[in-house]
A and B are shown apart, each in its own frame.
Chain A
């Protein structure tokens, strides 16, 4: 080891700018995760997320109802804190063939003396079944307003894809009803 002369002054500007950019990219990545997460979950059915919007009957695969196969579908519902309602599925459990169009109803009642807006959030289990659960219409697609004491039957029209995996014979659709965060 020996001594050298004074080192030339080093410029760090370019490296610092690159590192700051890296930090900025990952700050943006954090926000990009929000839509990415939703897209990924909906695409592969992770997390039991069903598609947020209705599908058109035209977009459905040609109606090939598989009468040789039966699926059990159960409906459950819960109320989140702050929503003085009552909700129950009119058909807690049904049997359905893959590819068959079906409508079922939930009875919802406002127990309070105020007009309240609620929003239902669905979840399917087993989670891998979520993307085969196609909804043509659902009360969960928009906020629901109930007058004091009003009760209403809310409908869900759906179809279960014929290509749902053979290992699935039972699935559950659960609704959690939340007080709407900012009623429109």
Chain B
């Protein structure tokens, strides 16, 4: 069935749209907005990457060579904020914009104008976050936020103007994300094609539905927390000032009430797209659709009640420690269900290893390491040693680079032919995969051992015995960073032209999105498809 090409006549007025810059500024088309989100994300991925390469260069050798500790502190904090809020989250939102309407048979997102606004709030927010770097060059202020991305009080109460810029940036990013989430929930709940019940809905949409609910619940708490920080800084309140009756630990509670679900916010869209990719390249139906839906929901709910495991060493009483340890560990149960379903989907399938499948399998292995080391960190007794060490850094990069970013790359390679109508270069894709996976492990595997040996994170200098592993890690990081240029080139090349992609693109795909042409017309599903009950 291919309804796409002749549907344009139903929409005379929508056929023309402004061209050039005005098109992108004023667009309400979900595909245009999805493209903008993804482009912005890629750009910021390189910005955040450049920052951390400067950090790794400083850490290449013990001693201080390249920068002052203050600047080092600014780089690590802004790197994290950029990667989380400006690279990973927009990438997932870009996927949602592009794919959810195509997957559920909707003509567009539910609230197209809000959608446009949601995107165009991002560039100013990213500018606010990074502007203090530039201002410092002109002698204004002392640079960007230097507290690490967690903005812990009382350090953030004492910090320079960079903290204020970060606070307002977080406000704007939060508003943008909440608008995006409302839009996605409204689209999913109200605009599914007739016959597509919630339980029949594709898993990618389910992952995003849970993510969107988590965002609406947790982002306002962070917004409240940083607002208190702002008033503590400038308006004589004492939310986090012990002398004034406040409590600095309260900030950690407020921050991580958002911060822990944020991990699942970043990962759920990836977990949602993974089964589609695995099913396509094993030519088998997804194993355990219902089980995966309930696992998403269980992880979302559990994710909301385990936040204090991020500060198990802050002096919590024993009953609280035990509660947060056991509840954290219980998250591994629904996650194990997901891993089981992924592996069972591949089991005895007719597998082929195109680039998206390579990334998907790499994701499963490396994300598994993230999960297992997370269990170690959740252990109260062990955490006393590992807390704030490089073990933690390695753990969350296995979760957020191997789990998050490699997951996003899986999606990009998988859907790029659908978006552009061209095949990417399989040869470059495979090269990119192998370079990424090898250099990633070179970068972060040594950090587990550095952490076990006692190297603290967020320090620009280190003791001599850590020198070799840091040198290896830095070489790995530069290889990892440079490998991503292949990715950018491959995407660019694919957008510009190349071998024509068929509508179905992959042999083993199923789902509404593959019934449209590649690329899909500017307006798709003007006439809703009907899902028949088999």
Query: Does chain A bind chain B?
Result: yes
Point out the residue from B110, B185, B238 that lies within 8 Å of A10, measured CB to CB.
Answer: B110
A34 contact from B10, B239, B527, Cβ within 8 A: B239
Size class of the contact patch on chain B: 35 or more
Contact B527 A12 (CB under 8 A): no
Q: B242 and A178: CB pair below 8 A? A: yes
Q: Which chain B residue has the least Cβ–Cβ distance from A119?
A: B243
CB of B403 closer than 8 Å to a CB of A? no
Asked if B253 and A181 make an inter-chain contact with CB atoms under 8 angstroms apart, the answer reads no
Interface: B191 (CB within 8 A): yes
A178 touches B243 (CB 8 A): yes
B178 within 8 Å of A (CB atoms) = yes
Partner of B218 from A5, A26, A38 at Cβ < 8 Å: A26
Q: How far is the CB of B325 from chain A (nearest CB, A)?
A: 16
CB-defined contacts of A38 to chain B, threshold 8 Å: 247
A141-181 interface code vs B (CB 8 A; 1 in, 0 out): 00000000000000000000000000000000000101111
Contacts of B234 in A (CB 8 A): none
Instruction: Among B185, B228, B238, B241, point to the contact of A15 (Cβ < 8 A).
Output: B185
Judge if B217 is at the interface, Cβ distance under 8 Å.
yes
In the complex, what distance in Å separates the CA atom of A5 from the CA atom of B526?
10
Contact partner of B224 (CB less than 8 A), chosen from A30, A45, A127, is A30
Please indicate the chain B residues that have their CB under 8 angstroms from the CB of A6 in the complex. 10, 526-528
A35-57 contact mask (Cβ, 8 Å, vs B): 1 or 0: 00110010011111000100000
Looking at the complex, which one of B191, B236, B529 makes contact with A182 (CB distance below 8 Å)?
B236
Interface flags, B173-205, vs A, CB<8A=1, else 0: 000001001100110011100100000000000
In the complex, are the beta carbons of A1 and B190 less than 8 A apart?
no
Which of A10, A16, A19, A181 has a CB less than 8 Å from the CB of B241? A181
Contacts of A60 in B (CB 8 A): none
Cβ–Cβ contact B220 & A3, under 8 A: no
Q: Are B216 and A179 in contact (CB under 8 A)?
A: no
**Given the complex, which residues of A lie within 8 Å of B244, measured CB to CB?**
119, 181-182
Q: Does A68 contact B (CB under 8 A)?
A: no
A10's nearest neighbour on chain B, judged by CB, is B190
Q: How far is the CA of A13 from the CA of B178 in the complex (A)?
A: 16
**Sample of 18 further A-B pairs with CB below 8 A, known A26-B216, A26-B220:** A1-B532, A3-B530, A4-B194, A4-B527, A12-B110, A26-B217, A27-B220, A28-B224, A30-B257, A41-B247, A47-B315, A47-B317, A80-B243, A119-B244, A127-B315, A128-B317, A181-B243, A181-B244
Interface residues of A (CB under 8 A from B): 1-7, 10, 12, 15-16, 19-20, 22-24, 26-31, 33-34, 37-38, 41, 44-48, 52, 80, 119, 121, 126-128, 176, 178-182
Q: Which residues of B contact A (CB under 8 A)?
A: 1, 3, 10, 110-111, 178, 181-182, 185-186, 189-191, 194, 216-225, 228, 236, 238-239, 241-245, 247, 249-250, 253-254, 257, 315-318, 320, 515, 526-532
